[in-house]
Structure 1
Amino acid sequence: MAKRKRSISPANDAVPPSSQPQPLVHKKSKQLNGSSAPTKQLSADAELARQLSLELNGRSTRAGASSSSGSKPKASKANGKKAKRSKPTIDSDGEDDPDNGKPKKARGGLGKEYILSEPLATLTGHTLLSRPQAVKKLWEHIKGHDLQNPDDKREIICDPPMKAVFHADKINMFKMNKLLGQHLFEPNEVGGQ
C-alpha cells in the first residue's frame, strides 16, 4: 500500500503549534540522543493519565496507595439490605439507672443475668450475675485462696464454700464450668417455683 503525502493547507497553518498533534517518540531514540527531558515529560504525562484513570474508575493503585483525591469510594449496599441498628434501650421501672444516669439496656446472650443458687450466691457475694461474671467471681475466689493444685493447675481443690456448690473435694476446672449451669436460674423460673 502506498503512503499518502499530506499537503499543507492554509487551515493547518492557522492552528497554533501546541494544539497540533505531536508525533510519539520512542524512549530508546531519545536516550541515544542524550536528551532526557522529553522522557521525563512522557513519564510525568503517563503518571498523570494513570492517576486520572484511577480517580475516574475508583480503583486504588497496586502498591495500595490512595488516589490523589484521598477519598475512597463508598461501598454499595449488598442486595439492598439496610444496615443493622443497635438495640433500643428500655426502662425497667420508668426510672433511670442511678449509677450513670442512662437508662438500662436490654440484655441478652452473654450479658443475660441469672439468679444464683443459695450456695453460689454465698460464695460470690451476689444474688444476680451473668454467667461470665459468675465464672469470673469463682476464679477470683480460687486465685485468692490459692485453690489450684500446684502439680495440675486444671484441678481445683475445694474449700468449704466451694464444697457446698460442687459437692466434691476436688474438681476439674472444665467440669466446674459444666456444673455451674445447675446453679444459674432464669428470673421467671424462680418466681414460678
Structure 2
Amino acid sequence: MELALQCRCGALRGLVSHPAQATRAVCYCRHCQAYARLLGDAASVLDAQGGTTIVATLPGHVRFTQGADRLACMSLTHKGPLRWFSSCCRTPIANTAREMKLPYAGLVHTCLRDAGGTLPAAYGPVRAQLNTGSATGPVAHSPWRNLLAMGRLMRIIGGGRLRGAWRATPFFTAEGEPVAPPQAPPASGPGITV
C-alpha cells in the first residue's frame, strides 16, 4: 500500500509505502516551532500548543515521483537534523538525520495525503508527545506511552540499519551527501528563535 505525499502547490509529489510500519508522534521542541515559522507556515504546521505532527518511517519507504529537484533542506544547528522542504512553495516535507546511515525520516503532516482523509486512518494514532516542556500550552502525555513509542521506533530504525535499509533514501546520494545542500536558516525575525 502506498499513500500520497505532496507539497501545497503540487510541484513536488511522491508516495509513502508501508504506512502501518510508521509511528505517528507530535513534537513540541523549539526547533520544530522555529522551522515552521521560518518557512512562513506556522498556522498550518503547528497545533494550538505549538506541536508538529510527524510520521516517523524509514527513508526507503519514501519515493518522489515528480519534482524531486524542488527538494531543499536547511539545518537550524550545526549538529541538528536536516529539515527538508519544497523550494517552490516552502511546504515542510521531512526531518532526517544528518548522516545517511541512520535510517530515519520524520514526515511532516502538512505534506501527507491519504484516501481516507485523515492521518489516523492512514498512519494510526499519535503514539507519543515529545519535548512537551517547550509546548506553548498544556499537553496531556504519558511517559510510558512515549517509552513504548520510542521502543517501536527504535525497532524500525534498528531493523532498517541492520538490513542496510539506510542505502535506500531519496534524501541522500549514493556517496552519502544530501541531495540538496543544507542552507543556513535566514536571520531570525519576530517570533522566531532557534
RCO comparison, higher one (Cα < 8 Å, 6+): 2
- For normalisation by structure 1, the TM-score amounts to 0.19
Comparing both structures, which one devotes a greater share of its residues to helix?
Answer: 1
- For normalisation by structure 2, the TM-score amounts to 0.19
Comparing both structures, which one devotes a greater share of its residues to strand?
Answer: 2
Which of structures 1 and 2 has the bigger CA Rg? 1
